[in-house]
Structure 1
Amino acid sequence: MTIDVVKVRRETPGVLHRIHLNNAGSGLMPLAVLDAMLGYLTREAEIGGYEAASEAATELDGVYDSVARLLGASRDEIALTENATVAWQLAFYALSFQPGDRILTTRAEYAANYVAFLQVSRRTGAVIEVIPDDADGVLDPQALEQMIDDRVKIIAITWVPTNGGLRNPAAAVGEIARRRGVIFLLDACQAVGQMPTRVDELGCDILTATGRKFLRGPRGTGFLYVRRDLMLTMDPPMIDHFAAPWVTPDRYKLRGDARRFETWENNYAARLGLGRAVDYALQLGLEDIETRCSILSARLREGLRALPGIVIHDLGRNPVSIVSFSVENRDATTVKAELTQLGYNVSISAPSSTLLDATARHLPAVVRASPHYYNTDDEIESFVRAVASSKP
């Protein structure tokens, strides 16, 4: 089945106002998401917050089923959070590290994750080691295999980094991690919503993601998957009486599902929006979404490569729908401002967001354009012309 672009654009109000190529930042919400959130907020205003939550209890509970279907997981392995970073932190800081424990990660690891590695290293004496890349700049599974010993505590990688279009071989990493008995934490923040993300195929023990990017959900939403057997051994870094009911004056009991990582109070309107976004993506089909994203991003790269003075900074033989580029003799902030003025949404990726990779490749701040399935060929061509006009 192919995606009906006319239909999805009709269901996406934002396409009437901008040419949105910032889906790696925050995707445009479809009407189904917007209607769910506005409808719920209206009921909160009409009957009260607690009462609206009670009225929508079945639908709110169904969000766990939707995320579980998206990931090929069980609902008891899913926790809902306010963003992907919180989901990642809750899982990572629930692990226990000792002096000499090894944390294996990637050169293109995202800053929020890497500073957590540094903090844990300083606190515990654990050491951080970077898995070598292959000649195409992609994590090298053979090199990873050779690094594994009994001191490796965790392999923690970003599947699709914030820039560079890179697609790390997550499933190959998962196969190695399972075979060698090492915990595998996968940051799928920029993968979910633009490609299939099934944990049974990826072999990860922990997966974290956001709702706001390619999934097209609202900001302030994220989720955490933790494999059941591992989850039951994990002590969350912070708890409340929802995560761990107070059962006697001197004892609490952690929940037996992944909601041990949640707290009692939540943004229920945003949760409903997240659920609708997941259902919308599932209805379209993640394979079809990935195919269309690949076609659009390939056309964008081809168009930009044809322009003199444009440098594309993407890596790998099979890049995703994140196109990172710079314009000769122009800083990224100026280029973005000019494109914004012309009606194009893009973002900037600073060297500090992937410091190891930026240092190794001598990257400047880069412009990041990330098309999604609701973009059109005409929009891609128009954007290339706009970039051409931005050159001095």
Structure 2
Amino acid sequence: MSPIDVQRLRQATPGCQSGLVHFNHAGASLPSQATLDAILDQLHREARDGPMEAGEHGAVLMENARRAAAYLLNAPAASVAFASSGSTAWNLAFQALGPWHPGDRILVGRHEWGGNLASMQLAVQAGARVEVIPCDATGAVCPQALEAMIDTRVKLIDLTWLPANGGLINPAQAVGEVAKRHGIAYFIDAGQALGQLPVDVQTLHCDVLKSAGRKHLRGPRGTALLYVRPAFLEQLQPAGRDVFSAPLSAHGFDLRDDARRFETSEVSFALLAGLGNALQELNQLGIERVWERVSQTGARIRTALREIPGIALYDLGTHQSGLIAFNLADWDAFELKRRLGLQRINIGANGVAYTPLDMQARGLTSVARISVSPLNHDHDIDSLMAALRELRG
């Protein structure tokens, strides 16, 4: 497997041409010029020909994006729906899984995304319980402990695969094997996984998987994708419906028999044109090559951080992703992010609300976060480390 031509990748990305050092790809990555062009081309088409009249071409671009997403996931195109955000996609599927009853159990990892936990309160109000799967000695979700928790009241297992507050990679496939063995619905939040490492929904045994377009996929904000396993689709009854998701038939308004039952008639073809281009670029680049580059860059950054006095790393698990959580002594994480930003060095910062169960369990109030991409090169790393040493004093 040949290495990625990083310089060529950067030359095709406007954000890399302005002196910006971007290590916030887990928040939102940098789009290519071709992705920007795809968005603008559809907008110009709508302005020139009429927004509705340009919809026919936009619909073709949307289906191109669907096929590209399906290829990346190793899934049928009909199992992919688009949404405006990762949280919206997850909520659509979760709400469609109801109704919830007293005694229903939802099992989650300690690293669950705060937005998902907030959505679960609707089930809690109906009498369901949210319970945390114990971690193993490395801090990852323990499949054996999960197995011991299973009974007939468990309605959903939900896993945040790569938590927002660190480099942990949870054992998503092993969790999926438990869920499949017991016939329990299994949702994966792959917001930090898709576009960073290989994702095969067949081997994961998941019923639902979601991810935002703006993160490692390098698509535009306002886009996300939702995968629903075809055989599981009939178990999901979306609360919101319109003439697209439930078109009129001789029998009434019938839900579509594919994942598009979660879509609506109103959509931004321009944004989906951009997402489609980003997905096609990723598929052409090769996700295995991306993951190899991300792993190498992440390892180098972790080594460099350990050489700076006052740096504390917060990695969990046996293998780490390209998300690196840390703190610098005597610095608030959000203030550190701001100060680096003044030097045009972008990192992230997470508070308790993002991953409340894990942050509280580890006694953390905030963490600074570096997240890498194949776009990052040695100069980026050197610039960040020099800035951190300067701020450390």
Q: Give the gaps of 5 or more residues in structure 1.
A: none
Aligned to 1:326: 327
Counterpart of 2:293, as a letter, is R
- The amino acid of 1:383's aligned partner reads L
Contact 1:232 1:257 in 2 (8 A): no
What displacement does 1:52 show? 1.5
TM-score by length of 1: 0.97
Q: 1:340 matched to which residue of 2?
A: 341
Task: Give the alignment of 1:170-319 within 5 angstroms.
Answer: 170-247=172-249, 251-319=252-320
Alpha-carbon distance in 2 for matches of 1:274, 1:55: 15
Tell me the amino acid that sits aligned with residue 296 of structure 1: T
| Aligned ranges 1:16-165 → 2 under 5 Å | 16-17=17-18, 18-96=20-98, 97-122=100-125, 124-165=126-167
SS of the residue corresponding to residue 349 of structure 1 reads strand
Q: CA deviation at 1:384?
A: 1.1
- The CA distance in 2 between the partners of 1:365 and 1:233, in whole Å, is 38
User: What is the rounded CA distance, in whole Å, between the counterparts of 1:16 and 1:297 in structure 2?
Assistant: 22
Q: CA deviation at 1:276?
A: 0.8
Note the C-alpha offset of 1:57.
3.4
Aligned amino acid, residue 110 of structure 1: W
SS, match of residue 353 in structure 1: coil
Code of the aligned partner of 2:375 = Y
Q: Post-superposition shift, 1:357? A: 0.9
The answer on 1:349 being equivalent to 2:350 is yes
Residues in 2 aligned to 1:133 and 1:377: alpha-carbon distance in whole angstroms: 35
Aligned mates of 1:296, 1:62 — CA distance in 2: 31
Asked whether the equivalents of residues 58 and 269 of structure 2 are also in contact (C-alpha less than 8 Å), the reply is: no
- Deviation, 1:149, is 1.3
- Following superposition, the deviation at residue 287 of structure 1 comes to 0.7
Aligned mates of 1:44, 1:53 — CA distance in 2: 8
Q: Letter of the aligned partner of 1:328 in structure 2?
A: A
Structure-1 separation of matches of 2:152 and 2:122: 22
Letter in 1 for 2:156: I
Report the residue type matching 1:272 in the other structure.
A
| DSSP 3-state at the match of 2:392 | coil
CA displacement, residues 304-339 of structure 1 (integer Å, 9 cap, x when unaligned): 111111111121121100111111111112211211
Give the Å deviation of 1:378: 2.1
1:369 Cα deviation after fit: 0.9
SS at match of 2:210: strand
Contact map agreement 2:59 2:269 (CA 8 A) in 1:
no
Matching residue's letter, 1:85: S
**In 2, Cα distance between the equivalents of 1:233 and 1:310?**
48
Once the two structures are superposed, residues 339-366 of structure 1 have per-residue CA deviations (whole angstroms, 9 ceiling, x without a partner) of 1111101111011211111111111211
For residues 46 and 20 of structure 1, the distance between their equivalents in structure 2, rounded to whole angstroms, comes to 35
Percent identical pairs in the alignment equals 43
Contact 1:163 1:314 in 2 (8 A): no
One-letter amino acid of the structure 1 residue matched with residue 207 of structure 2? D
Aligned partners of 2:176 and 2:277: how far apart in 1?
Answer: 29
Measured in 2, the distance between the counterparts of 1:126 and 1:172 equals 25
SS at match of 1:79: strand
The answer as to whether partners of 2:162 and 2:192 remain within 8 angstroms in 1 is yes
**Which is further off, 316-325 or 212-221?**
316-325
Distance 2:318 2:390 in 1: 29
Task: Tell me the distance in 2 between the aligned counterparts of 1:133 and 1:83.
Answer: 29
Q: Secondary structure at the match of 1:296?
A: helix
Counterpart secondary structure, 1:323: strand
Compute the displacement of 1:385 (Å). 1.4
Q: Which runs of 5+ in 2 are unaligned?
A: none
Does the 8 Å contact 1:99/1:125 carry over to 2? yes
Structure 1 residue runs of 4 or more that deviate by more than 3 Å after TM superposition: none
Moved more, 60-69 or 105-114: 60-69
Distance (Å, rounded) in 1 between the aligned partners of 2:357 and 2:235: 33
Distance 2:335 2:83 in 1: 35
Q: Distance in 1 between matches of 2:162 and 2:12?
A: 27
In structure 2, what is the Cα distance between the partners aligned to 1:112 and 1:222? 15
- Secondary structure of 1:276's counterpart equals helix
How far residue 212 of structure 1 moved from its aligned partner, in angstroms, is 0.3
- Residue type of the alignment partner of 2:235: T
Query: RMSD of aligned C-alpha atoms?
Result: 1.2
1:133-158 Cα deviation digits (max 9, x unpaired)? 11111001111111111111110110
SS in 2 for 1:186: strand
Q: Which amino acid aligns with 1:355?
A: P
Deviation string for 1:190-223 (max 9, x for gaps)? 1001111110121111001111001100000001
Q: For 2:259 and 2:275, how far apart are their aligned partners in 1?
A: 18
| Counterpart residue type for residue 127 of structure 2 | G
d(CA) in 2 for partners of 1:63 and 1:220? Answer: 14
Q: What aligned pairs does 1:366-377 form with structure 2 within 5 A after superposition? A: 366-377=367-378
Secondary structure of the 1:98 match is coil
* Aligned counterparts of 1:95 and 1:333: Cα–Cα separation in 2: 37
